[in-house]
A = this chain, B = another copy of it.
Amino acid sequence: MSLQIVPWDRLFDAAASAQRNAHAPYSHFLVGAAVLTDDGRIHAGCNVENASYGLSTCAEQNAIAGAVAEGAKRIAALAIVASTTAPCPPCGRCRQTASEFALPETPVRSRASTGEEARYTVGELLPHAFGPEFL
């Protein structure tokens, strides 16, 4: 799937919808994410925190898990929205999760609440990637 045809506006809309449902009573940090799958569908997720902080899951991770549950094998793009003044990059765990289902050139975009946007690729976010070839 080429970069040109990623429907970023629809991805960001889906991410923003999920963000409104974020369960973040501990951090009060609301994040939404949406993935475009290789068959053209969009799946969104939000962060889901837990009283045991380490069991919290991220929006990006949950969006990907939702896509997989509906049959996706690859993700073609990832959009992130966070209630931040600067665009919020994905954490290391989400980069690893994306890497399991993406190519190095898969685009990732993050928007702050100011509208400011950062653009990366999965490969830029996880250089020297760990993957199944090491197992």
Chain copies in the assembled complex = 4
Contact of B124 with A26 in the complex, beta carbons under 8 Å: no
Do A127 and B127 have beta carbons less than 8 Å apart? yes
Contact between A55 and B54 (Cβ–Cβ < 8 Å)?
Answer: yes
- The answer on a CB contact under 8 Å between B93 and A54 is yes
Q: Which residue of B lies closest to A31 (CB)?
A: B134
A55 to B61, CA, bound (A): 10
Minimal beta-carbon separation of A19 from chain B (angstroms): 9
Per the bound structure, the CA–CA distance linking A131 and B88 in Å amounts to 9
The A107-135 residues at the B interface (CB cut-off 8 A) are 118, 120, 124-132, 134-135
- Is B57 touching A61 in the complex (CB atoms < 8 A)? yes
Query: Which residues of A does B touch, CB under 8 Å?
Result: 18, 21, 23, 25-27, 29, 44-46, 48-58, 61-66, 68-71, 82, 84, 86, 88-97, 99-101, 118, 120, 124-132, 134-135
